[in-house]
Amino acid sequence: MDSPVIDFHCHAGSWGRYGVDADCDLYLKVMDAAGVDRSCINCIWFGDARRGNDLVMEYVSRAPDRFIGVAFATPHYPEEAVRELERAVHGLGMAYVKIYPDYFGLPNDDPAYFPIYEWIDEQEMAVMCHATYPFDPPGTTIEGRFTALSERFPNVRWVMAHTAGTLDADAAETARTLPNVYMETCSSRTTLGATEFNVERAGEDKVLYGSDMALMDARHQIAKVVTADIPRRAKEKILGLNAIRLLRLDDPAKGGAI
Protein backbone atom coordinates (compact mmCIF):
# COMPACT_ATOMS: atom_id res chain seq x y z
CA MET A 1 0.00 0.00 0.00
CA ASP A 2 1.48 3.34 -1.02
CA SER A 3 -0.62 5.74 1.02
CA PRO A 4 0.44 6.63 4.57
CA VAL A 5 -0.86 4.75 7.60
CA ILE A 6 -1.93 6.83 10.59
CA ASP A 7 -2.89 5.23 13.90
CA PHE A 8 -5.43 7.62 15.35
CA HIS A 9 -5.78 6.17 18.86
CA CYS A 10 -2.67 5.54 20.94
CA HIS A 11 -1.53 6.10 24.49
CA ALA A 12 1.90 6.94 25.84
CA GLY A 13 3.21 6.02 29.27
CA SER A 14 3.36 2.95 31.44
CA TRP A 15 0.32 1.01 32.58
CA GLY A 16 1.77 -1.48 35.00
CA ARG A 17 -1.62 -2.94 35.87
CA TYR A 18 -1.54 -4.59 32.46
CA GLY A 19 2.20 -5.01 32.19
CA VAL A 20 2.52 -2.13 29.72
CA ASP A 21 5.80 -0.23 29.97
CA ALA A 22 6.61 3.25 28.71
CA ASP A 23 8.85 1.77 26.08
CA CYS A 24 9.35 3.93 23.02
CA ASP A 25 11.57 1.36 21.32
CA LEU A 26 8.89 -1.32 21.61
CA TYR A 27 6.35 1.17 20.31
CA LEU A 28 8.38 1.87 17.22
CA LYS A 29 9.10 -1.81 16.71
CA VAL A 30 5.41 -2.67 16.75
CA MET A 31 4.57 0.28 14.50
CA ASP A 32 7.21 -0.87 12.02
CA ALA A 33 5.93 -4.43 12.02
CA ALA A 34 2.34 -3.27 11.65
CA GLY A 35 3.22 -0.89 8.85
CA VAL A 36 2.15 2.22 10.76
CA ASP A 37 3.85 5.42 9.65
CA ARG A 38 2.63 7.74 12.38
CA SER A 39 0.82 7.24 15.66
CA CYS A 40 -1.31 9.86 17.38
CA ILE A 41 -0.45 9.50 21.06
CA ASN A 42 -2.04 10.92 24.17
CA CYS A 43 -1.51 10.30 27.86
CA ILE A 44 -4.66 10.12 29.98
CA TRP A 45 -3.14 8.41 33.00
CA PHE A 46 -2.54 11.46 35.17
CA GLY A 47 -4.85 13.82 37.01
CA ASP A 48 -2.25 16.40 36.11
CA ALA A 49 -2.86 16.79 32.38
CA ARG A 50 0.34 18.76 31.99
CA ARG A 51 2.39 15.84 33.22
CA GLY A 52 0.77 13.51 30.72
CA ASN A 53 1.15 15.95 27.86
CA ASP A 54 4.82 16.42 28.68
CA LEU A 55 5.27 12.67 28.64
CA VAL A 56 3.69 12.56 25.20
CA MET A 57 6.22 15.09 24.02
CA GLU A 58 9.05 12.83 25.16
CA TYR A 59 7.84 10.31 22.57
CA VAL A 60 7.32 12.99 19.93
CA SER A 61 10.79 14.43 20.55
CA ARG A 62 12.29 10.98 20.24
CA ALA A 63 10.71 10.34 16.84
CA PRO A 64 9.01 13.47 15.50
CA ASP A 65 8.39 11.86 12.13
CA ARG A 66 6.59 8.91 13.75
CA PHE A 67 4.51 10.38 16.58
CA ILE A 68 1.80 13.03 16.56
CA GLY A 69 1.07 14.51 19.98
CA VAL A 70 -2.51 14.62 21.22
CA ALA A 71 -3.48 16.87 24.15
CA PHE A 72 -5.34 15.56 27.18
CA ALA A 73 -7.79 17.82 29.02
CA THR A 74 -9.70 17.06 32.21
CA PRO A 75 -12.62 18.97 33.73
CA HIS A 76 -11.48 17.82 37.18
CA TYR A 77 -9.34 20.96 37.10
CA PRO A 78 -11.38 23.47 35.10
CA GLU A 79 -9.10 26.29 36.18
CA GLU A 80 -6.22 24.57 34.36
CA ALA A 81 -7.90 22.91 31.38
CA VAL A 82 -7.97 25.65 28.76
CA ARG A 83 -4.60 27.04 29.80
CA GLU A 84 -3.08 23.59 29.42
CA LEU A 85 -4.73 23.12 26.03
CA GLU A 86 -3.26 26.43 24.89
CA ARG A 87 0.17 25.23 25.96
CA ALA A 88 -0.22 21.75 24.50
CA VAL A 89 -1.62 22.78 21.15
CA HIS A 90 -0.04 26.15 20.47
CA GLY A 91 3.12 25.63 22.47
CA LEU A 92 3.85 21.96 21.84
CA GLY A 93 2.10 21.52 18.51
CA MET A 94 -0.38 18.82 19.50
CA ALA A 95 -2.86 17.92 16.80
CA TYR A 96 -6.15 17.25 18.55
CA VAL A 97 -7.68 16.73 21.98
CA LYS A 98 -8.46 13.58 23.93
CA ILE A 99 -10.88 13.54 26.83
CA TYR A 100 -11.83 10.61 29.04
CA PRO A 101 -15.20 11.20 30.71
CA ASP A 102 -15.13 7.74 32.29
CA TYR A 103 -12.70 9.18 34.84
CA PHE A 104 -14.98 12.13 35.46
CA GLY A 105 -18.12 10.13 36.15
CA LEU A 106 -20.19 12.30 33.82
CA PRO A 107 -20.72 11.79 30.09
CA ASN A 108 -19.08 13.85 27.40
CA ASP A 109 -22.16 16.03 26.92
CA ASP A 110 -22.05 17.23 30.51
CA PRO A 111 -21.72 21.04 30.71
CA ALA A 112 -18.49 20.63 32.66
CA TYR A 113 -16.90 19.89 29.31
CA PHE A 114 -18.27 22.95 27.56
CA PRO A 115 -15.35 25.31 28.29
CA ILE A 116 -13.04 22.72 26.75
CA TYR A 117 -15.31 22.36 23.72
CA GLU A 118 -15.60 26.13 23.34
CA TRP A 119 -11.84 26.31 23.07
CA ILE A 120 -11.68 23.40 20.61
CA ASP A 121 -14.46 24.99 18.59
CA GLU A 122 -12.47 28.21 18.29
CA GLN A 123 -9.48 26.23 17.02
CA GLU A 124 -11.66 24.13 14.68
CA MET A 125 -9.98 21.00 16.00
CA ALA A 126 -10.93 17.40 16.63
CA VAL A 127 -11.69 15.78 19.97
CA MET A 128 -11.87 12.05 20.65
CA CYS A 129 -13.81 10.30 23.41
CA HIS A 130 -16.07 7.34 23.96
CA ALA A 131 -19.61 7.64 22.62
CA THR A 132 -21.41 5.97 25.54
CA TYR A 133 -20.75 5.55 29.25
CA PRO A 134 -21.87 3.18 31.99
CA PHE A 135 -23.45 6.13 33.79
CA ASP A 136 -25.48 7.42 30.82
CA PRO A 137 -29.04 8.39 31.74
CA PRO A 138 -31.71 5.97 30.47
CA GLY A 139 -32.81 6.76 26.96
CA THR A 140 -29.51 8.30 25.90
CA THR A 141 -28.79 7.86 22.22
CA ILE A 142 -25.49 8.52 20.49
CA GLU A 143 -27.24 10.38 17.71
CA GLY A 144 -29.08 12.62 20.15
CA ARG A 145 -25.93 13.28 22.11
CA PHE A 146 -23.74 14.21 19.16
CA THR A 147 -26.48 16.12 17.34
CA ALA A 148 -26.79 18.43 20.33
CA LEU A 149 -23.03 18.77 20.68
CA SER A 150 -22.58 19.44 16.96
CA GLU A 151 -25.22 22.13 17.00
CA ARG A 152 -23.68 23.83 20.00
CA PHE A 153 -20.07 23.48 18.81
CA PRO A 154 -20.28 23.39 15.00
CA ASN A 155 -16.54 23.67 14.35
CA VAL A 156 -15.53 20.72 16.51
CA ARG A 157 -14.82 17.42 14.74
CA TRP A 158 -15.94 14.58 16.98
CA VAL A 159 -14.26 11.19 16.91
CA MET A 160 -16.17 8.41 18.65
CA ALA A 161 -13.50 6.07 19.98
CA HIS A 162 -14.01 2.31 19.54
CA THR A 163 -17.36 2.63 17.75
CA ALA A 164 -16.12 1.29 14.41
CA GLY A 165 -15.02 -1.88 16.17
CA THR A 166 -18.65 -2.66 17.01
CA LEU A 167 -21.95 -3.30 15.27
CA ASP A 168 -23.61 -0.24 16.79
CA ALA A 169 -26.24 1.04 14.38
CA ASP A 170 -26.80 4.18 16.46
CA ALA A 171 -23.12 5.13 16.24
CA ALA A 172 -22.92 4.41 12.51
CA GLU A 173 -26.06 6.40 11.80
CA THR A 174 -24.68 9.29 13.83
CA ALA A 175 -21.49 9.33 11.79
CA ARG A 176 -23.45 9.08 8.56
CA THR A 177 -25.80 11.95 9.29
CA LEU A 178 -23.55 14.40 11.12
CA PRO A 179 -20.80 15.79 8.89
CA ASN A 180 -18.38 16.44 11.75
CA VAL A 181 -18.66 13.05 13.45
CA TYR A 182 -16.26 10.15 12.85
CA MET A 183 -15.80 6.58 14.07
CA GLU A 184 -12.61 4.85 15.20
CA THR A 185 -11.87 1.13 15.02
CA CYS A 186 -9.96 -0.12 18.06
CA SER A 187 -11.45 -2.74 20.35
CA SER A 188 -10.18 -5.74 22.24
CA ARG A 189 -12.74 -7.68 20.24
CA THR A 190 -12.46 -8.38 16.55
CA THR A 191 -16.19 -8.39 16.01
CA LEU A 192 -16.99 -10.25 12.83
CA GLY A 193 -18.08 -7.85 10.12
CA ALA A 194 -17.66 -4.67 12.17
CA THR A 195 -15.48 -2.82 9.66
CA GLU A 196 -17.75 -3.80 6.78
CA PHE A 197 -20.86 -2.80 8.74
CA ASN A 198 -19.56 0.65 9.59
CA VAL A 199 -18.17 1.39 6.14
CA GLU A 200 -21.48 0.43 4.61
CA ARG A 201 -23.55 2.47 7.06
CA ALA A 202 -21.38 5.47 7.91
CA GLY A 203 -19.30 5.62 4.74
CA GLU A 204 -15.64 4.97 4.07
CA ASP A 205 -14.79 8.63 4.69
CA LYS A 206 -16.02 8.45 8.27
CA VAL A 207 -13.97 5.61 9.71
CA LEU A 208 -10.47 6.02 11.21
CA TYR A 209 -8.04 3.27 12.07
CA GLY A 210 -6.90 3.20 15.70
CA SER A 211 -5.14 0.56 17.77
CA ASP A 212 -5.27 1.62 21.44
CA MET A 213 -1.52 1.05 21.58
CA ALA A 214 0.25 0.55 23.95
CA LEU A 215 -2.51 -1.52 25.50
CA MET A 216 -3.44 -3.43 22.37
CA ASP A 217 -1.11 -4.50 19.61
CA ALA A 218 -1.23 -2.46 16.40
CA ARG A 219 -0.35 -5.57 14.38
CA HIS A 220 -3.62 -7.09 15.49
CA GLN A 221 -5.78 -3.99 15.41
CA ILE A 222 -4.74 -2.99 11.92
CA ALA A 223 -5.68 -6.44 10.67
CA LYS A 224 -9.35 -5.67 11.23
CA VAL A 225 -9.11 -3.14 8.41
CA VAL A 226 -6.51 -4.91 6.28
CA THR A 227 -8.47 -8.16 6.12
CA ALA A 228 -11.95 -6.63 5.93
CA ASP A 229 -14.16 -7.35 2.96
CA ILE A 230 -14.22 -3.76 1.70
CA PRO A 231 -12.71 -2.05 -1.37
CA ARG A 232 -9.01 -1.29 -1.39
CA ARG A 233 -9.62 2.44 -1.61
CA ALA A 234 -11.77 2.28 1.53
CA LYS A 235 -8.93 0.57 3.36
CA GLU A 236 -6.51 3.29 2.30
CA LYS A 237 -8.86 5.96 3.55
CA ILE A 238 -9.48 4.27 6.89
CA LEU A 239 -5.82 3.47 7.44
CA GLY A 240 -4.60 7.00 6.91
CA LEU A 241 -6.13 9.25 4.30
CA ASN A 242 -9.14 10.12 6.46
CA ALA A 243 -6.88 11.04 9.39
CA ILE A 244 -4.69 13.17 7.14
CA ARG A 245 -7.75 15.05 5.98
CA LEU A 246 -9.24 15.35 9.46
CA LEU A 247 -6.04 16.60 11.06
CA ARG A 248 -5.00 18.58 7.97
CA LEU A 249 -1.66 16.80 8.01
CA ASP A 250 -1.20 17.57 4.33
CA ASP A 251 -1.34 21.29 5.04
CA PRO A 252 2.17 22.67 5.50
CA ALA A 253 0.65 25.76 7.05
CA LYS A 254 -0.42 23.58 9.93
CA GLY A 255 3.12 22.37 10.33
CA GLY A 256 2.22 18.78 9.76
CA ALA A 257 3.15 18.00 6.19
CA ILE A 258 3.27 14.26 5.53
Name the residues that contact other proteins, by CB under 8 A.
1, 5, 18-20, 26, 30-37, 188-194, 213-224, 226-229, 232, 235, 239
Question: To the nearest whole angstrom, how small is the minimum distance from the Cβ of residue 109 to other proteins?
Answer: 27
Compare residues 14 and 147 and give the one whose CB is closer to other proteins: 14
Compare residues 48 and 196 and give the one whose CB is closer to other proteins: 196
Residue 67 backbone phi and psi in degrees, to 5: -115, 145
Question: To the nearest whole angstrom, how small is the minimum distance from the Cβ of residue 170 to other proteins?
Answer: 17
Q: What is the 3-state secondary structure (H, E, C) of 21-53?
A: CCCHHHHHHHHHHHCCCEEEEECCCCCCHHHHH
Question: To the nearest whole angstrom, how small is the minimum distance from the Cβ of residue 18 to other proteins?
Answer: 6
Compare residues 26 and 148 and give the one whose CB is closer to other proteins: 26
Helix, coil or strand: residue 129: strand
Compare residues 117 and 197 and give the one whose CB is closer to other proteins: 197
Contact in structure between 9 and 184 (CB atoms under 8 Å): yes
Question: To the nearest whole angstrom, how small is the minimum distance from the Cβ of residue 239 to other proteins?
Answer: 7
Q: What residues contact residue 76 under an 8 Å CB cut-off, 6+ apart?
A: 47, 103, 104
d(CA 134, CA 146): 17
